[in-house]
Structure 1
Amino acid sequence: MQKRILGIDPGLAKLGFGAICCEPAAGGNIAGTVSALDFGVIQTPAGEEIGRRLCTIYEDLHTVIKQLQPDLIAIEKFFFYRMANTILVAQARGVVMLVIAQCEVPLVEYTPAQVKQALTGYGNADKLEVQEAVARELNLETLPKPDDAADGLALALTAWFQR
């Protein structure tokens, strides 16, 4: 049975997303086919008021979920030590969680190390190694860009591998 998984890398300036379509092999083992449906970013202008930026994320993410109709959403767990703009990203992540709850789509969360481990076999892999693994798994001719969108695809693939 075909499954659509949407990966979301929360951010205020750029929220990355990537959707994949998965078809398990007969017998339901881990093998099967997986392909990219869509990927990109929701961007908000730096000069815009924070409330307006959060509204943009809210509205655009609702549109993405409505268009892609995911069966599952994978989101990156938030780590306070990682980012200088922690509060702003946490606010954007809160909006993302609200939208997911409103859309009533099941949710899973993964740490960056879990994503790296799932895709490269190494929890401290660098960004390029993860992007190369995403491109390889999805048979993409080039690395997915921007980085935030590649991270969204990586989260979706992690959810597929961890099922």
Structure 2
Amino acid sequence: MTLILGIDPGSRITGYGVVRDTGRSCEYVASGCIRTGSGSMPERLQIVFRGVREVIETYGPVTMGIEQVFMARNPDSALKLGQARGVAIVAGVEAGLDVSEYTATQVKQAIAGTGGADKEQVQMMVMHLLKLVQKPQIDASDALAIALCHAHHRQSLIPHGLAGAKRRSGRLRL
């Protein structure tokens, strides 16, 4: 069994989700949000870093999936998102986690079967796949979807002996 951490980065709200991959299915462990408030950007980044580090220390995942930055219409928002994503990755790497990155389309495809799924569709599929009775907050739901996507990608690599491979520049590296 492998504990997987999913991170949906944000400069104001960073969602996290932890699932246990049993090899046959995934089980819900925990989820929530790291809220940074309205402080300066350096202060908010520190809160994201410490929050991700605390989640790692609390649950002990061994691997982490995180959403890649997409180019939005507002370059300033994309830069802030990239900074929050960067500190979350550093928290994971410092803790010795293998970190994999997924596009929003890859996550939606893995969870809902279509890369064009909206957030509510993804949320409903996360609830179904993890047998949740209550809707998680949307950022936490997105993080759980990333963790599930990571589990699915890991499972597809195991029969080929590539479960420990790392993805670099879109290619698998052993």
Number of residue pairs matched by the alignment = 153
2:149 aligns with 158
Q: Residue 162 of structure 1: SS of its match in structure 2?
A: helix
**Is the 8 Å Cα contact of residues 67 and 104 (structure 2) preserved in structure 1?**
yes
1:61 aligns with 52
1:118-137, Cα deviation, whole Å (9 max, x unpaired)? 11111101111100110000
1:102-133, Cα deviation, whole Å (9 max, x unpaired)? 11100111101011111111110111110011
Cα shift at 1:143: 1.9
2:133 aligns with 141
Partners of 1:155 and 1:149 in 2: how far apart? 10
- TM-score using structure 1 length: 0.89
**Is the 8 Å Cα contact of residues 108 and 117 (structure 2) preserved in structure 1?**
yes
1:19 aligns with 18
Partners of 2:66 and 2:48 in 1: how far apart? 15
1:5-46, Cα deviation, whole Å (9 max, x unpaired)? 00000101000000001212xxxxxxx232111000100112
- Which residue identity lines up with residue 153 of structure 2 in the other structure? Q
Cα shift at 1:82: 6.0
Give the gaps of 5 or more residues in structure 1: 25-31
Cα shift at 1:86: 1.5
Q: 4+ runs of 1 displaced by more than 6 Å?
A: none
2:62 aligns with 71
2:91 aligns with 99
Q: Residue 133 of structure 2: SS of its match in structure 1?
A: coil
Partners of 2:128 and 2:73 in 1: how far apart? 27
Partners of 2:20 and 2:53 in 1: how far apart? 19
In the alignment, is residue 123 of structure 1 matched against residue 122 of structure 2?
Answer: no
2:5 aligns with 6
Give the gaps of 5 or more residues in structure 2: 155-174
| More moved, 63-72 vs 148-157 | 63-72
- Which residue identity lines up with residue 8 of structure 2 in the other structure? D
Cα RMSD after superposing both structures: 1.3
Q: Which has the higher contact order (CA 8 A, sep 6+)?
A: 1
Q: Residue 80 of structure 1: SS of its match in structure 2?
A: coil
Partners of 1:82 and 1:100 in 2: how far apart? 29
* Residues 19 and 82 of structure 1, relative CA distance in 2, 3 Å threshold: farther
Identity of aligned residues (%): 35
- TM-score using structure 2 length: 0.84
